[in-house]
Amino acid sequence: MSKPTLYGIWLSGPTYKAGLALSLMGQPFAYKHVDLRAGAHKQPEYLAINRFGQVPALVDGDLKLCQSGSILLYLADKFGKMGGKTPEEKARVREWLFWEFDKLAPNVYRPRAIKRGFMKADDSVYQLYTGLANDGLKVLEASLGKSAFLVGNEATVADVAVYGDVSYAGEAAIDLAPYPGVKAWMERVEKLPGFKKYEDVLPKQDAA
Chain contacts with ligand GSH (rule: CB under 6 A): 12-14, 36, 41, 53-56, 67-69, 101
> Nearest distance from residue 10's CB to ligand GSH, in Å?
10
Q: Cβ distance 169 to 133 under 8 Å?
A: yes
Task: Considering the complex, state which of residue 151 and residue 202 has its C-beta at the smaller distance from ligand GSH.
Answer: 202
> Nearest distance from residue 86's CB to ligand GSH, in Å?
26
Per DSSP, 6 falls in state E
Region of residue 3 (left: phi > 0; alpha: psi -120 to 50; beta: else): beta
Task: Considering the complex, state which of residue 69 and residue 152 has its C-beta at the smaller distance from ligand GSH.
Answer: 69
> Nearest distance from residue 146's CB to ligand GSH, in Å?
26
Task: Considering the complex, state which of residue 23 and residue 50 has its C-beta at the smaller distance from ligand GSH.
Answer: 50
Bridge pairing between strands 5-8 and 30-33? parallel
25: phi then psi, degrees, rounded to nearest 5: -85, 0
Task: Please give the angle made by the CA atoms of 181, 134 and 148, to the nearest 5 degrees.
Answer: 20
Q: Cβ distance 130 to 172 under 8 Å?
A: yes
> Nearest distance from residue 54's CB to ligand GSH, in Å?
3
Q: How far apart are CA 151 and CA 74, in angstroms?
A: 18
32: phi then psi, degrees, rounded to nearest 5: -120, 120
Q: Cβ distance 94 to 73 under 8 Å?
A: yes
Task: Considering the complex, state which of residue 82 and residue 152 has its C-beta at the smaller distance from ligand GSH.
Answer: 82
Task: Considering the complex, state which of residue 189 and residue 202 has its C-beta at the smaller distance from ligand GSH.
Answer: 202
Task: Strands of 14-117 (E only): list them.
Answer: 30-33, 57-60, 63-66
Closest residue to ligand GSH, judged by C-beta, is: 54
> Nearest distance from residue 204's CB to ligand GSH, in Å?
15
> Nearest distance from residue 145's CB to ligand GSH, in Å?
27
Task: Considering the complex, state which of residue 11 and residue 144 has its C-beta at the smaller distance from ligand GSH.
Answer: 11
